[in-house]
Amino acid sequence: MKILMLNPPFLPKFSRFSRSPAVTKSGTIYYPIWHAYATGVLEKEGHEVRLVDAPAERLSREQCYQIAKEFQPKLVVIYTSTPSIYNDIEIAGQIKDLLKDSFIVLTGPHVSALPEESLKIDKRIDAIARREYDQTLVELAGKLEARQSLIDLRGLTLRLDQEIKSNPDRELINDLDSIPFVSDVYKRHLKIENYFYAHCKYPVVSIFTSRGCNAQCDYCVYPQQMFGRQQRQRMPENIVAEFEYIEKELPQIKEVLIDDDTFSFNQEYIIKFCQLMLQKKIKLSWIVECRANLGYKTMVMMKKAGCRLIVTGFESADNQVLKNIKKGLTFERMRQFVQDAKKAKIAIHACFMAGNKGETKETLKKSLKFAKEINADTCQFFPLMVYPGTEAYDWAKTNNYLTTEDFRNWLTSEGLHNCVVSTPELSAKELVDFCDHARKNYYLSLKYMVHKFKQVLFVPGEFKKTFKSAKIFLKYLFR
């Protein structure tokens, strides 16, 4: 069967596959990673698949419609996000008008959280493949080819005449090693140079080595609406084999981003992976997303195996705020993590949030003070972004803290994050203003500028990465 996997047009360089979709101030644009993984799974089953990433390729609606008309797919799968949902559904409906016989499916966290509501927006949409959708699409394509009923297809919310029916959830995939390498899908379907992550060497490949997360953070949408709260891991041998593939087949790649929700739950597993990387003599540097519970000995092994930087969500420097959001870590443990990372000579990309439960002007000051103390390689400050299906969204809605319920307002007109949460302690504007202030205070400090100047002079590849990001970032920094 011909299948079109579409990341639809919206705003230029809109990162729909980010955990918090937006146009970024750093110029980062994400790979269409979940569509790419599903593409590999569908191709493995013998389907003819075309993966189209409109924001990265700067394709217009009309160009996407032309691609659909020429390809004539029988199944069209469109990834959606909260701020772009009305745009995405409109495009899906237009494609249905062009291809009357095609089956149109929406995917993504937003429609997984609000499947019936999303289908009611436009009667032209046939179904929603909820949560982890790889195997749902495989079964759907098979049933469509065989002209079989979809009435009991797990993981699907579908339109039946005038009725909308949500079937039970599908079991999550346990054997992640059975999924083809996403880097191979990138090579065959995408232009690698279109993708840029400000904290990574350029060009970079983004992969996942696990799905799901054991943490209970109330704001994170992937565990709550896509992959569950139990981590499932690829075997170390499988991950190292993908690194070998990347070195051989994508020689232009300078770094690999392991973009898991967290890479740090099973530290024995990490050590085994690092040992294999050393045995196989992998030269590629890599970056991981880890919680601040990572031990020093594990960091030392990671450094030996090529880990250059750890992305860590600190969120706040206040213990009560951390407790309120179910972070499962204390400020003291975070400080120890920073000390260990510096001792192991691994850089940090630090992430902070403003506006979580219990946030005040004083707790925000504590977070900025801690951020400057860390002096991380890069640091980001975001106002709380609440997405349907998360505990944080329910908290904001129940307490009447949402300033709007129009999902279009989750972004500014430029596509930047627009805080829609105002609490009795802090308004949405105050939270955005704090993030702007913190960003300037951090990046324009003498301590940071000296650090970055030394990097640009002495670290290979740093000038190219920094210059590419700074071209976009500075216009926001000095606004």
91-148 pLDDT, tens digit per residue, is 999 999 999 999 999 999 999 999 999 999 999 999 999 999 999 999 999 999 999 9
pLDDT tens-digit series, residues 363-402: 999 999 999 998 888 899 999 999 999 999 999 999 999 9
Give me the residue spans of the domains in the chain: 2-166, 197-477
CB 189 within 8 A of CB 160: no
Tokens of 139: 């079964």
Q: Domain 2-166 sits in which CATH superfamily? A: Response regulator (3.40.50.2300)
pTM: 0.93
- Annotate 388-454 with DSSP letters as a single string: TTSHHHHHHHHTT-BS---GGGGB-TTS-B---B--SS--HHHHHHHHHHHHHHHHTSHHHHHHHHH
Residue 143 identity (one-letter amino acid):
K
**Percent of the chain topping pLDDT 90:** 86
By the 10 Å C-beta count (0-12 exposed, 13-18 middle, 19+ buried), 193 is classed as: exposed
The pLDDT score that the predictor gives to residue 205 is: 98
Alpha carbon distance 85, 80 (integer Å)? 6
CA separation, residue 27 to residues 23, 144, 155, 321 (Å) = 7, 40, 34, 30
CATH class of the 197-477 domain in this structure: alpha beta
Residue corresponding to tokens 């960091």: 299
pLDDT tens-digit readout, 448-460: 777 666 666 556 6
Can you tell me the distance from the alpha carbon of 382 to that of 435, in angstroms, rounded to the nearest whole number?
Answer: 6
pLDDT at 470: 53
Contact 366, 318 (CB under 8 A): yes
Which residues of the chain, if any, have pLDDT below 70? 451-479
- Please classify residue 63 by burial: count the beta carbons closer than 10 Å to its beta carbon, then call 0-12 exposed, 13-18 middle and 19+ buried: middle
Bridge-based pairing state of the strands 204-207 and 210-211: unpaired
Among 46, 115, 42, residue whose Cα is nearest residue 77: 42
For residue 478, the model assigns a pLDDT of 52
DSSP 31-70: --HHHHHHHHHHHHTT-EEEEEEHHHHT--HHHHHHHHHH
> For position 208, what pLDDT does the model report?
98
**Strand 75-79, strand 48-53: pairing:** unpaired
Q: Is the dihedral of CA 95, 96, 102, 103 positive or negative?
A: positive
198: helix, strand or coil: coil
Contact criterion met (CB below 8 Å) for 14 and 22? yes
Tell me what percent of the residues of the chain surpass a pLDDT of 70. 94
In angstroms and rounded to an integer, the radius of gyration of the C-alpha atoms of the chain is 22
DSSP 82: T
Contact 379, 371 (CB under 8 A): yes
* Residue of 245, 163, 197, 159 lying closest to 28 (CA atoms): 197
**What's the per-residue H, E or C state across 371-397?**
HHHHCCCEEEEEECCCCCCCHHHHHHH
